[in-house]
Structure 1
Amino acid sequence: MLSDELMRRVLDWEARERDPELLGELRALLAPGHEDELFDAFYRSLSFGTAGIRGVMGVGTNRMNVHVVAQAMQGLADWVNANAEPGKCPRVALCRDTRNNSERFERVAAEVFAANGIEVLMYPRVEPVPTLSFAIPRLGCSAGVMVTSSHNPRQYNGCKVFASDGCQISGEVAEEVATAIGRIDVLDGPRRLPFEDCLAQGLVSWIDDSVLDDFLACVHALHVPGSIDPARPPRVVYTPLNGTGLELVRRSLASIGVSDVSVVPEQVEPDGDFTTCPYPNPEFREALELALSLADELHPDLVVATDPDADRLGSAVLHDGRYVLLTGDEVGILLMDWMARTRAEAGDDLSRKVAVSSIVSSDMLDDVAREHGFQLRRTLTGFKNIGGQIAVLERQGGAERWLMGYEESYGYLPGPYVRDKDGVTALTLLVEMAGWYAKGGLDLVEAMDVLYERHGFHLNRTLNLQYPGAEGATLMASKMRALREGAPRDIAGRGVTRTVDYLHPQPLPQLGGPGDDRSQTLPASDVLEWRLDDGCKVMVRPSGTEPKLKCYLFGIAGSRDESTRALDELEAATRQLLGA
């Protein structure tokens, strides 16, 4: 039964809706039999956080549509103007991916910013997330907006918001913008100027391709000379998953001497329906199926995939005649170890270098950091935290100390010229690293096995427990509360030696390196961690972008089989613990 208050909001929206498509959708929801869908579309407003807004596209306050986008951008415009330098016209940079409605939402954002006296700079075509993060500080922008829903299913879209340094906005800024949004009527509150008028009046202009050239120059500066045998460069199958990565990936690989790049033909062109891959997330094998099929025909050394906004990277390696998928942790560990080795060979002092990862990424990183002597810092999940450490380094002596950052969910940040996940640079370095190891007779699976033998078989597994709909958030909160109130004493027959509740202040973990500022603390976060008596670990947290609980399982043993068995036992126990 829908409440009177909710129906009042729905009917008010219907009376004021002028978009024929949204009006038709709303009237279909008002027909008998659609009460649950109508409730879910209007029972709340999409929340604005450090990643901006994201949700399923459609009519309603809890959906992504032109009105919700305009309302959010008006709130951001109010914040930008309130914090602008006196007498100086602020500017913002915009970018979009290939999803349905991305171009429309980007133009709505431009119309709002221009109507509020803010200069707008836009890429003239779809481009990856890292190019926006790169452009924002170089173009003197106060903020940036990427219209994307990253790797989410095709029915989603969003507006990802960046601060003036190219990093995602802080929690404090997000709260201020959210407060501003809350004061704006979703249908009639935003100020907008028609897009063609914005162009005619010079309020919107296009970002020059020289910015992309500069970005690729920074990528190439990480190149290790001599790493690839020019007589046998790696052969690659690549899929952009109908997204934004193709142009820059091809150019970047060519710059390091890799030209044998076969692209999955069905996934070359932009396709917001993601017809061949409804869930374009390279974390999952399903997203790479067409690329793996092409690889079976062409037999390349590597299969690589970027998600629609090219901030995530998935990969598979030809090993013993078959293609083996690398996990997000394995790619991160391989890259971090390789970058440390090649930097040391180039004469860098690794004791001054800093690598950053998240608290849910592999514990093997601790051993890698100890072996090479660089400092390892652990942040909460999210690249607002990982990329945010670059600004900390700038205060502590310079961003040149940056080695790389990564988290297990297939996001990598190799160079400090970007402050968010960068699938273009990571893909380029992965291919280059494959060439480097090939000169020594190893593929990347074999290279990872060397690290496992050296540091132990740290195997990880992530469970994604879905809780959709209006009841989902309540159910997830109740499960997290139950875990706190009835904390387990053992998991899968392993005693709990330490429980960490990240809702309470915790020092930011730092291993090795100079003292720097040890006063950093982790912001409060809804994350629970249980360390077990055999070195294994379990962590649970709600996702920040999707209606699901994420459970991170960490196995450690002397062999792959033993570690896999530990993960199987931890998975069964964790599912039982959560009633899943």
Structure 2
Amino acid sequence: MNHNELYERWLAASLEDPDLTAELRSIKGRDAEILDRFYRDLAFGTAGLRGVIGAGNNRMNIYTIRRATQGLANYLLAQSEEPHVAISYDSRIKSDLFSREAAGVLAANGIRVSIYRELMPVPALSFATRELRCDAGIMVTASHNPAKYNGYKVYGSDGCQMTENAADAVLKEINSLDVLTGAKTMKFEDALASGIVSYIPEEVVDRFIDNVLAQQVNPGVCEKAGLKLVYSPLNGAGNKPVRRVLAAIGARDVTVVPEQEHPDGSFPTCPFPNPEIKEALAKGLELARETGADLMLATDPDCDRVGIAVKEGEDYTLLTGNHVGALLFDYICRCRTENGTMPRDPVAVTTIVSTKLTQMIGKAYGVEVRSVLTGFKYIGEQIALLESAGHPERFLFGFEESYGYLSGTYVRDKDAVVGSMLIVEMASWYKQRGMSLVDALNDLYKRFGICRESVSNFQFEGAEGMKIMAGMMEKLRENPPAEIAGQKVTCVSDYEKSTSTCEGKASPIDLPKSNVLEYALADGCTAIVRPSGTEPKIKLYLSVVGRDMAEIDARAAAMGADVKRIMGV
């Protein structure tokens, strides 16, 4: 069927969600609106589904959720006689509905389901999947996207996001199903009453919290330092677990942003609930200035990312994910070495787009640093490799530049609960020494050299946007730049072709294939271009080195302008 035929079919159907019928009627005769909803199926990949909430096969709704879950059910039933799936959800619009719909489809297929009684963070889902020995996990969330989005992440039995091979197998099952009629269904209440669906016990939540608390580096330091905090859960799932953990480590002076305290998927005071951007922290910064807080932190709606602002003089400085990752890594290495708690042959894992400081810090402390592709599942895979070798304790710390951190092996995804705890502990430790985290960052630069990373995002919505992004990446592959901002490109690494070409000599890249291009310059700077795996945009990562901030600023500006020219944006 073409997009108009699909539209007419949906319009004529007796849809169970009245919001969908009302939306379809409202766009009648508007071809562009119809095309955007029906020109393709909502893509299912290793990150599962993510899209705008609404009517159509290119939207998040109960029918696309049911179809994806039926595909997952078919896959699981082929792998196991008695599959078991854990489910969690965050505060987004219809997240609770979508989680119950997924549970109902699984139940209708005879698959046992354990679901959280209330919204819980991504790491709690990863934990429950492992703790309850489930075959898979489902997290209903669109992470830090705007309010109009929702999503559906699928996890393997190891608590990592689903592998590419498994996702391909599930996609094959999904593609064999009709979106409106292909799924078996069962009312959530009936499934709950039958016992095939049950709520996850509170003891599992307690064990998750206990595992977070076990990652403390200097227990007791928060009680002594008396750090003054402002916290915002950005109307998401972090409110209860983060506050519970902060109270447990002795962080008593915590003021929560009242407008962003309780779950609300419309995010009324924060249109983009992403702690990576300053606008998301605006309310928290207002409150921090009023209270004179030492530190302000915010977790995103599914509580797997945390962003911070640090008091510096009369105002606050926002630290990036790279800043915080480097600071945490150095703090953990320094204190575990001093305390005698550093494991033998420690390993840290980061991503190819994260700060170069990681390698320098690791070398100074004798920690092996492994670089993987963007996506925390690749960090989780490295933990699994250590575990399979019988030494999970070697894993010291993992982080990615997009504000995701993990210490410990109890989950296999980034965890803003443990991230928040360690940031507050670290800030308390430095406060006892008369230093802020800005002071600590400047000290890092003195010890290891100055480098700065930045990320630019270029949005391309709809069907036309997908074509533009594909054309842009193809053009860059066919015509790689010889120089950027006056500096010779010494290496071009194409992660999709698994080849790095330096000074005309090609060598293999020993990482999974990924649509990423990296350009290394003669002066030590790098530029990386990649389409987002979860959003309709291309990302440009710049890593800039220099003798001082003035030189770095000048280089960054010149590189950014030139790469944008080359990309044609």
Normalised TM-score (structure 1): 0.95
Verify: 1:548 aligned to 2:537, yes or no: yes
Q: Does 1:533 align with 2:529?
A: no
Query: Could you tell which deviates more after superposition, 9-18 or 99-108?
Result: 9-18
* Cross-structure match for 1:393: 386
Corresponding residue to 1:16 among 8, 13, 27: 13
Question: Which moved further from structure 2: 228-237 or 315-324?
Answer: 228-237
* Alpha-carbon spacing, 1:421–1:229, altered in 2? closer, same or farther (3 Å): closer
Which residue is equivalent to 1:7?
A: 4
Partner of 2:49: 53
2:565: which partner in 1? 576
Equivalent residue runs for 1:356-505 within 5 Å: 356-505=349-498
Deviations 1:399-452 (A, max 9, x none): 111011111011111221110110000000000000111111111000010111
> In structure 1, how many angstroms separate the alpha carbons of the residues matched to 2:130 and 2:219?
32
- For 2:58, give the aligned amino acid: N
What amino acid does structure 2 have at the position aligned with 1:165?
D
Counterpart AA for 1:27: R
Q: What one-letter code is carried by the residue in structure 1 that aligns with 2:91?
A: T
Preserved contact between residue 222 and residue 425 of structure 2 (Cα < 8 Å): no
Return the alpha-carbon distance in structure 2 between the equivalents of residues 135 and 233 of structure 1.
33
Partner of 2:309: 316
Q: CA deviation at 1:175?
A: 0.2
CA distance in 2, matches of 1:359, 1:577: 22
Question: Given that residues 506 and 522 in structure 1 are in contact (C-alpha distance below 8 angstroms), is that contact kept between their aligned partners in structure 2?
Answer: no
Residue in structure 1 matched with residue 505 of structure 2 by the alignment: none
Distance across 2 between alignment mates of 1:213 and 1:283: 29
Question: Could you list the per-position Cα deviations for residues 279-328 of structure 1 after superposition, in whole angstroms to 9, with x for gaps in the alignment?
Answer: 10000000000000001100111000000000010001111221100000
- 1:337-356 matches, within 5 Å, as 337-349=330-342, 352-356=345-349
Give the structure 1 partner of residue 504 of structure 2: none
Answer yes or no: is the 8 Å Cα contact 1:227–1:433 preserved in 2.
no
2:27 equivalent in structure 1: 29
CA distance in 2, matches of 1:506, 1:441: 48
**Bigger mean CA offset, 438-447 vs 9-18:** 9-18
What amino acid does structure 1 have at the position aligned with 2:393? E
What stretches of structure 1 of length at least 5 have no aligned partner? 508-518
Which residue among 555, 560, 577 is the counterpart of 2:549?
560
Give the drift of 1:143: 0.4
- Within 5 A, what are the aligned runs for 1:53-452? 53-84=49-80, 86=81, 89-225=82-218, 228=221, 230-349=223-342, 352-452=345-445
Q: Write out per-residue CA displacement over residues 377-410 of structure 1, whole angstroms, 9 at most, x where no aligned residue.
A: 0110001111111111112232111011111011
Q: CA deviation at 1:349?
A: 4.9
C-alpha contact (below 8 Å) 1:380/1:522 kept by paired residues: yes
Q: Report the alpha carbon displacement of residue 351 of structure 1 after superposing the two structures with TM.
A: 5.5
**What amino acid does structure 2 have at the position aligned with 1:417?**
Y
Is this contact kept in 1: 2:48–2:152, CA < 8 A?
yes
| 1-structure distance, mates of 2:199, 2:473 | 46
Q: Residue by residue, what CA displacement relative to the aligned partner does 1:529-552 show, whole Å, maximum 9, x if unpaired?
A: 010011111000000111111000
1:21 CA displacement: 2.1
CA displacement at 1:526 relative to structure 2: 0.7
TM-score with structure 2 length normalisation? 0.97
Deviation string 1:225-265 (CA, Å, 9 cap, x unpaired) is: 35626343211100000001011111101111101110000
Give RMSD over aligned pairs. 1.4
Give secondary structure in 2 for the equivalent of 1:575: helix
Aligned-partner residue type, residue 24 of structure 1: A
Report Cα offsets for 1:86-126 as digits up to 9, x if no partner.
Answer: 4xx22101101001100110110010000000111011001
2:59 is paired with a residue of what secondary structure? coil
**Contact 1:344–1:350 (8 Å) recurs in 2:** no
CA displacement at 1:27 relative to structure 2:
1.8
Change (3 A) 1:350 1:198: closer
**1:439-498 per-position Cα deviation (integer Å, ceiling 9, x unaligned):** 111110000101111211110110101111111111111111111111101001111111
Q: What per-residue deviation string (whole Å, max 9, x for no partner) do you get for residues 323-378 of structure 1?
A: 10000000000011111111112324566111000100011111111111110001
- Contact 2:225–2:431 under 8 Å retained in 1: no
Counterpart of 2:503 in structure 1 is none
* Structure 2, unaligned runs of 5 or more: 501-507
> Is the CA contact 1:456–1:559 (under 8 Å) kept in the aligned structure 2?
no
Q: Cα distance 1:579–1:225, how it changes in 2: closer, same or farther (>3 A)?
A: closer
- Distance change >3 Å, CA 362–CA 225, structure 1 → 2: closer
Whether the 8 Å CA contact 2:276–2:321 is kept in 1: the answer is yes
- SS for the counterpart of 2:563 is helix
Secondary structure, counterpart of 2:70 in structure 1:
helix
Aligned-pair CA distance for 1:276:
0.4
Q: Distance in 2 between matches of 1:320 and 1:450?
A: 17
**Aligned with 1:476: secondary structure?**
helix
